[in-house]
């Protein structure tokens, strides 16, 4: 389901500004058995060009061969919070609000899952050439129950720019797809087959969002 206009508009605009200009973006990727891997922003800055190119080729080759692959920019909000990377930062405060009772009660009420007790979080941006391959989030034993995507991209995202959250049936047909609509909260039970569509090189903006899982343990 998609809950539109979930935050007061001024709050959503402020969050988008934080993602656009005050977030140290790292990089996440996987190419089949190679991964998942993640680098912090300072590690990305030190990554040799040849290694970046090798990573890009590996991801592309795996996806072309029908394997599981992804690449996108990320800032691991929960890891940063627990590791005190930047204490009392806007990202820390956001995580606390997501885990506070008003927001948890909203998600419990909307989903009907009243056993949700907490959530993790990461900031992501799917820039041109980024994508997230088809998968199901099958971490049920870890307490994952509801995946969420809080979309904070441009006010008007064009369909041709890709980056849709797509859901699939067992035959590989898309049965539902959500545009990364600004200030919308996308929620879905896991496990469930889904992906984030490829963002083409001509897309003029990144697809900003806060993502994670609401959990029972």
Predicted TM-score (pTM) of this structure: 0.96
pLDDT value, residue 200 = 98
- pLDDT at residue 143 in the model: 87
Q: How far apart are CA 162 and CA 69, in angstroms?
A: 17
151 strand-pairing partners: 184, 209
* 24's tokens: 């140290």
Model pLDDT, residue 140: 64
pLDDT at 166: 98
- Tokens 């959250």 sit on residue: 165
List of the chain residues with pLDDT < 50: none
> How many other C-beta atoms are found inside a 10 Å radius of the C-beta of residue 89?
17
| CA dist 167 → 133, 186, 196 (Å) | 12, 12, 9
Phi, psi at residue 126, to the nearest 5°?
-95, 100
Question: What phi and psi values does residue 193 have, to the nearest 5 degrees?
Answer: -65, 125
Please tell me the predicted confidence (pLDDT) of residue 138: 75
Domains belonging to the chain, first-starting first, are: 2-215 (2.60.120.620)
Distance of CA 75 to the CA centre of its chain: 10
Q: Are 153 and 206 a contacting pair, CB within 8 Å?
A: yes
- The pLDDT tens digits of the residues spanning 32-84 come to 999 999 999 999 999 999 999 999 999 999 999 999 999 999 999 999 999 99
Query: pLDDT at position 196, please?
Result: 98
- Do residues 140 and 189 lie in contact, with contact meaning Cβ atoms separated by under 8 Å? no
pLDDT of 141 reads 64
Task: Give the three-class secondary structure for 118.
Answer: strand
């Amino acid at each position: 389901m998609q809950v539109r206009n979930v935050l007061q508009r001024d709050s959503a605009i402020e969050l988008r500004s934080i993602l656009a200009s005050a977030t140290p973006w790292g990089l996440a990727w996987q190419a089949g058995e190679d991964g998942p891997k993640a680098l912090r922003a300072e590690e990305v800055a030190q990554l040799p060009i040849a290694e970046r190119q090798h990573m890009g080729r590996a991801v592309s080759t795996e996806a072309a061969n029908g394997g599981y692959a992804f690449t996108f920019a990320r800032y691991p909000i929960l890891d940063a919070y627990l590791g005190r990377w930047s204490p009392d930062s806007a990202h820390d405060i956001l995580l606390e609000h997501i885990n506070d009772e008003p927001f948890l009660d909203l998600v419990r009420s909307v989903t009907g899952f009243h056993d949700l007790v907490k959530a993790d979080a990461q900031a992501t941006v799917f820039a041109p050439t980024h994508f997230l391959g088809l998968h199901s989030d099958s971490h049920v034993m870890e307490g994952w129950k509801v995946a969420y995507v809080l979309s904070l991209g441009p006010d008007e995202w064009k369909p041709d720019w890709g980056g849709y959250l797509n859901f699939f049936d067992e035959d590989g047909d898309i049965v539902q797809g959500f545009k990364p609509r600004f200030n919308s909260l996308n929620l879905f039970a896991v496990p469930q087959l889904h992906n984030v569509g490829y963002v083409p090189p001509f897309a003029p903006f990144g697809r900003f969002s806060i993502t994670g899982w609401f959990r029972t343990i």
